[in-house]
């Protein structure tokens, strides 16, 4: 549905540069994983692409610059789920996930059967249906994280930017979420960009990885080419062995000295 282009993007806070001259493209229906050590600038890069922090450079969706678009128009093109979301107090899970449909509602702002169907199906897929009427404040950490992602997915934007979507999820729920995202990109052509700390999961789901270090692109390419023991030792100061799953995906195993 939408291809993403990022040209020479730089961003920072006050006078401190955090991301410097990042360029990349993601094809329609592609999945780019952004990896890198703590503080490398992954979240800042994602926020800049989403237009949420000041930046220079250009971000285009299907060849159209995002700068200058009205919020509602931008929200139809780009969905974003932050690493640490601010949750509204008092809303139920259903009402919160329905907020994701806001850019699609008509003048009266009332949701219709199609919006409720999108939300219902996401609640089912993310194991939230039994929590549909619960206030957000009463959810566990992993349940809350799944509600935040359900809201972002409900937006049905062409480009989906997800900051650490599997944080706080157990392995089963993490897989269910990543499988659902994979399905959306295959069926609807959604273009996906995620930051991920779990390098083994990143290698299994992302088609390409961009390794960010000190705000710059240190490597970009197929997971097997980016995730080498040498680059992980240099960039993360980590001792790891790179193993392989039977179907050839890299598995990053930390080793004790
Ligand atoms: N609002 C802010 N004001 C000032 N500095 C910030 C702000 N947000 C982030 N930073 C700084 O920018 C740098 C990059 O932060 P960012 O959150 O983008 O890194 P990250 O790669 O996502 O890190 P992590 O893996 O720890 O989540 C860090 O040094 C951080 O302290």
Place 42 in a pLDDT band, splitting at 50, 70 and 90: very high
Residue nearest to atom 25 of ligand 1 (CA): 38
Q: Is residue 144 part of a domain?
A: no
Mean pLDDT of all residues in 103-123: 85
195 lies in some domain:
yes
Q: Structural domain tally of the chain? A: 1
Atom of ligand 1 nearest to the CA of 164: 27
Q: Which residues contact 151 (CB under 8 A, 6 or more apart)?
A: 81, 96, 97, 99, 100
The pLDDT value recorded for residue 90 is 87
- Asked whether residue 103 is assigned to any structural domain, the reply reads no
**Pocket of ligand 1, candidates 11, 22, 42: which has the most ligand atoms within 8 Å of its Cβ, to mutate?**
42
Q: Whose CA is nearest to atom 24 of ligand 1?
A: 38
Across the range 93-111, mean pLDDT stands at: 85
> What is the domain extent for residue 229?
4-90+158-254
- Asked if the structure places residue 82 within a domain, the reply is yes
CATH of the domain at 19: 3.40.50.300
Say yes or no to pLDDT of 106 above 80.
no
Complex-level ipTM: 0.98
- Residue 150 falls within a domain, yes or no? no
pLDDT tops 60 at residue 1 = no
Is 105's pLDDT higher than 80? no
**In this structure, what is the dihedral angle of CA atoms 233, 37, 254, 225, given to the nearest 10 degrees?**
-60
Model pTM? Answer: 0.92
Distance 251 CA to ligand 1 centre (A): 27
Q: Which residue has the higher pLDDT, 72 or 27?
A: 27
Cα 192 from Cα 154, distance rounded (Å)? 14
Q: Which residues line ligand 1 (CB under 6 A)?
A: 13, 18, 36, 38-44
Higher pLDDT, 202 or 1: 202
Q: CB neighbours (10 Å) of residue 241?
A: 11
Cα–Cα distances in Å, from 244 out to 89, 199, 219, 237? 45, 13, 20, 21
Is 96 a member of any domain? no
Q: Atom 9 in ligand 1: which residue has the minimum CA distance?
A: 44
């Amino acid at each position: 549905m939408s291809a993403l282009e990022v040209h020479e993007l730089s961003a920072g806070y006050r006078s401190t540069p955090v991301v410097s001259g990042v360029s990349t493209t993601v094809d329609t229906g592609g999945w780019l994983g952004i990896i890198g050590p703590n503080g490398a600038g992954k979240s800042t890069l994602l926020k800049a692409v989403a237009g949420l922090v000041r930046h220079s450079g250009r971000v285009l969706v299907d060849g159209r610059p995002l700068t200058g678009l009205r919020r509602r128009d931008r929200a139809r093109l780009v969905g974003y789920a932050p690493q640490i979301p601010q949750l509204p107090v008092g809303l139920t899970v259903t009402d919160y996930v329905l907020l994701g449909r806001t850019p699609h509602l008509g003048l009266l702002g009332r949701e219709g059967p199609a919006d409720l169907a999108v939300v219902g199906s996401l609640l089912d897929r993310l194991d939230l249906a039994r929590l549909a009427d619960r206030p957000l404040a009463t959810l566990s950490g992993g349940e809350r994280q799944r509600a935040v992602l359900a809201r972002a997915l409900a937006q049905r934007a062409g480009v989906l930017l997800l900051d650490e979507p599997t944080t706080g999820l157990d392995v089963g729920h993490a897989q269910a979420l990543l499988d659902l995202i994979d399905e959306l990109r295959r069926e609807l052509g959604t273009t996906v960009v995620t930051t991920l700390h779990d390098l083994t999961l990143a290698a299994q789901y992302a088609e390409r990885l961009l390794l960010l270090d000190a705000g710059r692109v240190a490597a970009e390419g197929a997971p097997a080419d980016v995730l080498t023991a040498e680059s992980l030792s240099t960039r993360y100061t980590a001792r790891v062995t790179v193993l392989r799953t039977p179907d050839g995906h890299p598995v990053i195993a930390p080793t004790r000295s």
